[in-house]
Amino acid sequence: MSDSIDTASSAAVGLAATVQFSRSELEALCSKAARGAGMSWGMAEEAGYASGWLSGRGIDSTRTLAVYLHLIQEQDWRGSFPVVHEQHWQACSSEQSLCPIVLGATLSDYARVQPMLFEDEGLSMSALFFPHLLLPFLAWVVQDLHRPLYLRVDGHDVCVRVDIGLRVLGDLDALLSIEEASVRISLTGGELIDGQSLPFDEDVAAEQLFSGAVSVLMSDVDSLQQLALLTTVPSSAASRANAGASHSDND
């Protein structure tokens, strides 16, 4: 095994190989996997964006995304789209939970249409998969609002705000561990003292934002690659024949 593939120990998974990915490479892989799992091209790009955004802030979302994408592969993805009402959004299909990528993108789209979306009691959402995948989209929304947003999941409050860079206050670790939950997004929330500060893209130097590569588990990469391969076409004689030059390369 080469040096660039390290052996890392992790309490959760035991001994597992990790591999270094650049952010752009990770975004590309996540986009392809999302497409392979059945998302439209444009929504698959949003999945790539979300993974890249999180990885650039030290949050590895490859595992969650891989798990989620394998899940929707089995389902009708459209059933996980939100039905948009004033104060409460839920999935189209009563059998399904909301897709965090579609929900995030839709929140970003609607935040500019309905600036009052998060006023008063805020916007509540019934069951949502992997709520932390919303963070990259909420980062967009808080820029529009110029006000902090509070994300309440399972009794945990996380605040997304832009002041000196983007800050996420609250128990981020708790948020990351939640697989499925109801969510409320509002302009007010409980008092939060401790928290993590995540740098925001445009406000910090690239080197601060992202020190180099992301270390991801080989098993998660494999899982995403398995889906990404579903976007490819098996080879045929015609396909091979058309791929190269018409002369020999030995000249």
Partner 1 sequence: MVELTPTDLSRHAPVGLRTPEQVMRLARLGSAHPTRLSFLRILLRRMRREQWQFERTKWEIDSTGVGVAIYKARGPDLTYSLVVFAHDLPDQMRSDRVIATAWDATFTLFDGEPTAADIERLQSNVPLQEAGRISATELILSRANRSVRLFAYVVDCLSQGLQPDAQQLTDVGYLMRTTAVYGTGKFGAAGRRNLENRDHFLGPFQAEMLSVWLTRQFVVDIVEHIAKSRSGEKAVRLAPELRLLLGVGNSTGLGMAPFIVRHPVLLHNWMMVREEALSRVRSCEQASARAIGAMRVSLEAAIHNAAGWRSEHPVQVVKLEQLRADLIRVTEQLNGMDLTAFRPWNTLWLWAEDTLSLEGQEALLSILLEPYGELVDDLSQFLSAKERQSFRLDGAMKVGTLRALLETHYAWALSIDFTQADNTARFWYVSEEKLEPRLGERASEEGAELEQPLCIARFAQSLFDQLKQWEDEMPVANFVLQHPEARLMVRRAQMSARHAYAEIRDNLIAKDMLPIDLLRYKLAFFGASHFDPRSDRWVRISLFQGMPYPDEFKNIPVREIGVE
As a residue count, the chain comes to 251
Alpha carbons 245 and 103: distance in angstroms, whole number: 46
Q: Which is nearer to partner 1, 158 or 216 (CB)?
A: 216
Total residues at interface with partner 1 (CB under 8 A):
62
Exactly one of 33, 34, 49, 98 binds partner 1 (CB under 8 A); which one? 49
- Interface pattern 86-125 for partner 1 (x via CB under 8 A): ----------------x--xx-xxxxxx------------
Contact region for partner 1 (CB under 8 A) — 61-69, 122-130, 167-175, 199-207?
199-207
Residue type, 134: L
Spatial CB neighbours of 124, under 8 Å, sequence gap ≥ 6: 87, 88, 89, 182, 183, 184
| Alpha-carbon distance values, 154 to 106, 173, 175 (Å) | 22, 13, 9
Exactly one of 60, 68, 81, 159 binds partner 1 (CB under 8 A); which one? 81
Q: Give the nearest distance from C-beta 193 to partner 1 in angstroms.
A: 31
7 binds partner 1 (CB under 8 A): no
Note whether 64 and 132 are within 8 A (CB).
Answer: yes
| Alpha-carbon distance values, 94 to 6, 21, 90, 127, 182 (Å) | 44, 38, 8, 10, 14
Residues that bind partner 1 (CB under 8 A): 2-5, 19-25, 39-43, 45-46, 49, 56, 78, 81-82, 84, 102, 105-106, 108-113, 140, 201-202, 205-207, 209-210, 212-213, 229, 231-236, 238-240, 242-247, 249-251
